[in-house]
Structure 1
């Protein structure tokens, strides 16, 4: 058994704090459309952001050469605006109106492009008039990624409140007060109230969102974007620590891969099967619509309805894979399986076995570019992709209610897999011109889940 000293484990903790986390790039083409950053796990840390134009290729579709000729056009301070709005959040939506600066190139078609990472963090929400309590283990101190006070949805902190107090969802404002009060302390209490943060929207019941991490005091903390160094550790110790960290990461990956789930739903016109992955995305292993034993879904049924235990409909697993693979959540209404009846007098059920696979998941709002990329030597494998809309909150920033109300129009597509599988990087436009229009008048988005793999047969040099 390997044994590691306290010094070595401390080095591991510092190393983790300074790890170079994978980056995402989001590019939004049309003025006024939604620029969306999101982290399935962790919180957003913006690295770069640009509003303008830096080349003649990005977002060039449908534009004249004159419209994209100027390639040194950018709004000053764009990264500071995006960092202020998005750092420390799990999801952040904005559009070009947030920059509020003179147009640096009025006759040039511009776009927003942001590069960001998802940093591991403790995420906390505290309702107005309550106390936010942050605490770290002994020997550690608080480092605040970001904090916002106000309201940005109609579901958080609403219990027992009148509707009028949570209608305004555009009043959440970033604040440095939590960082000023708590950074460097082992524990800290901050009141979520107007007396501390001011009142960004009178009459609205607000809440405080805070994202923070705990760092060892012995780690040297430097400016964001610069690497954190280690004190008093030899190169051999650091090498062994990196080896330990990679080993732990590999074990966690294996543990998440072998997480297999089983769902059984009895037949019925309004019955729905719900598949869900808290971590990773769905990959259907097997699915059967029919009957293979006399006990499952037998309650209240006549004996003759349970007698045929060799009843199954062909192609069920293909239907489930097409609809669910690559998603975090998938719901299947039993009606979609009744294309034929393999055993008319038998009461049937749907049984699905699926695995939650670790994956990179991205969302690109309509008129944006989805950018998939892997490390050197690896290639893309797409689990699944969908274009349309399945909720009223994603890519909804300042869109009219009529554009986000249709939540039953998300269609699976093979176009991302056809375009990107086997490549090291790939860009695809989230638009009707690529995927068709599954719901006219609805503002849509593209969801993609993919992994990076080492190719079975590496390309010849």
Structure 2
């Protein structure tokens, strides 16, 4: 499979109930490091290749997908500039295509092509981005709606919440429509892309969770429309938390995150930021998921003029200690 320079390395963390899995992650300067103990996998596959989703245990549940191009670095090797310059190319039907092909299967392969997904941007060399989770075959996916102005609450008793999908907006004119005038429920193409992140941040890894269904919390995706929050989640019998063991923002070799960089930006291989570990542990320890920008603003600049990267080693442990 052709591999372009990915904006960051996605790693699938597979955990057994009684064990601890070590994960090493490298993120280029300017990108965002994604640490996860939530059993979520991310796959990027270049156009004309075959995407493969796999769950050793449990069944596939696709969370998000897009066939197109949103940056000029991924799957770019050997491609002329005009084929990778359009970075606003997305295919709205990508998720439904993947879900219909892969959900509730242990293994799934799908051709990454215009024939399967349609062509959202003619002349652009595209790639497929997929995020999915492996859920236990016995897990029950629960879906809840909460009308705007109410409070969304879920509980997993002694188990732990894992949010699979979320949208604050309106995709039909029946839900939360009682007593509402037609103009407040007619827009059924109202979605808020940040909904999943909001719910995951508030609820993942907790036994119970309450979130205000409001523009203040979720943002305002469609002014004048009466919205609702739609959330799908599972209750997990087991929970794991991030424990960062090693972290360094700097450069210790001239190969990592070097594509397209002049020699002067990668020649200093004795660059380390001593405070990197404390920054990561403060931000990420004890959480199921954590995102942190690999930037000088967050870590400080240990070597001005050098293009740096963040190297992290962490484990997913049963207790947040």
The answer, yes or no, to whether TM exceeds 0.5 is no
Between the two structures, name the one with larger relative contact order (CA 8 Å, sep ≥ 6): 2
**Category of TM-score, reference length = shorter chain:** 0.3 to 0.5
* Bigger share in helix: 1
Bigger radius of gyration = 1
TM-score for both structures, normalised by structure 2: 0.42
